[in-house]
């Protein structure tokens, strides 16, 4: 069958082994000083290992490969197999119930036909507040925020301080709005479920178009979340934009680790 699977560039791999612990299925091992995929059936193709390679030697590709086999994974890891619920494709997103035209914000034409994808500057329509209310309120200053929906030419991106956050960070980190979002333009995504190579292409274009002033990357401590930081670093390299990057890691228990 043809499916997405991990590919390792042995010429770039230096055998450091950083990728091995991030593969929960044990599909990657160091063999003769190089990281190797030890069995196609052991790789789920989700790319949890992508962000752990300092040499950028790992990527996901689409090719003919044996189907991912959870039973083989359990046998490979020496664990008893417990059948998992049937995997089903995600349901298509529901159609928006109302248009952003109800509040009549200024929108950018590049948003296309979907109101939820149109670029909106929220600053003009948010009432001014001060004191404790300002600290507790939302610091979101624009829409959309999903990386896949944001236009690289959105006017609010130009020269901005950017925050690239993994989807789970705002839920885990209680001070997300005050500590990370305030004063920044946020883009969110999930390196575990989305196309990380697609992130690299989108961010490279965005950096070249918007020429942001700084970039903060906020990720969870779990290994698969490292992909979003890798995508940011790779996009900065490819774009040629001298963009300083600050990485923030949040524990699943909610503490800011770095």
Asked if the peptide bond before residue 200 counts as cis, ω within 30 degrees of 0, the response is: no
Per-residue pLDDT 10s for the chain (258 aa) are 898 899 999 999 988 888 887 788 889 988 888 899 999 999 988 877 877 788 889 988 989 999 999 888 888 877 655 554 555 555 555 554 444 333 333 444 444 445 555 666 666 444 444 445 445 688 999 889 999 888 888 888 999 999 999 999 999 999 999 999 999 999 999 988 888 888 899 999 999 999 999 999 999 998 888 899 999 999 999 999 999 999 999 999 999 997
User: Would you state the CATH architecture of domain 2-77?
Assistant: 2-Layer Sandwich (3.30)
Q: Please write down the long-range contacts of 94-100, taking CB distance under 8 Å and 24 or more positions apart.
A: 100/143
Strand pairing partners for 4? Answer: 62
- Say how far apart CA 116 and CA 111 lie, in whole Å: 8
DSSP 160: P
Provide the 10 A C-beta neighbour count for residue 247: 16
Measured in whole angstroms, how far is the alpha carbon of residue 129 from the centre of its chain? Answer: 32
- Alpha-carbon separation of residue 198 from 147, 148, 189, 234 (angstroms): 10, 9, 11, 12
Distance in angstroms (rounded) separating the CA atoms of residues 234 and 201: 9
Q: Within 13 Å, how many C-alpha atoms sit on residue 19's CB side?
A: 31
Residues ≥6 apart with Cβ < 8 Å to 177 = 137, 138, 139, 140, 170
For domain 117-122+138-250, is the CATH number 3.40.50?
Answer: yes
Question: pTM of the full predicted structure?
Answer: 0.57
Structure tokens at 207: 């950096």
Q: Which DSSP string corresponds to 219-249?
A: EESSGGGHHHHHHHHHHHHHHT----EEEEE
Q: For the chain, give every domain's residue range.
A: 2-77, 117-122+138-250
pLDDT on residue 118: 61
Check residue 113 and give its pLDDT. Answer: 46
* Residue 6 φ then ψ, to 5°: -75, 140
């Amino acid at each position: 069958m043809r499916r997405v699977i991990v590919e390792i560039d042995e010429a770039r791999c230096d055998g450091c082994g950083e990728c091995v612990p991030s593969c929960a299925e044990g599909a990657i091992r160091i063999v003769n000083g190089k990281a190797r995929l030890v069995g196609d059936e052991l790789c789920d193709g989700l790319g949890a290992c992508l962000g752990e390679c300092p040499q950028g030697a790992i990527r996901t590709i689409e090719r003919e490969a044996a189907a991912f086999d959870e039973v083989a994974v359990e046998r490979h890891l020496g664990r008893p197999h417990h059948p998992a619920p049937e995997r089903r494709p995600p349901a298509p997103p529901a159609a928006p119930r109302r248009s952003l035209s109800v509040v009549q914000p200024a929108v950018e034409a590049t948003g296309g036909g979907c109101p939820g994808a149109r670029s909106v500057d929220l600053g003009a329509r948010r009432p001014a507040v001060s004191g404790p209310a300002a600290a507790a309120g939302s610091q979101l200053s624009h829409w959309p925020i999903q990386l896949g929906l944001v236009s690289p030419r959105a006017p609010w991106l130009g020269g901005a301080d950017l925050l690239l956050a993994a989807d789970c960070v705002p839920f885990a980190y209680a001070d997300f709005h005050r500590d990370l979002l305030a004063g920044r333009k946020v883009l969110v995504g999930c390196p575990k479920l989305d196309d990380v190579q697609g992130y690299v292409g989108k961010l490279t274009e965005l950096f070249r178009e918007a020429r942001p002033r700084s970039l903060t990357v906020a990720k969870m401590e779990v290994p698969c979340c490292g992909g979003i930081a890798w995508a940011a670093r790779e996009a900065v390299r490819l774009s040629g934009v001298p963009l300083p990057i600050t990485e923030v890691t949040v524990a699943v228990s909610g503490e800011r680790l770095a």
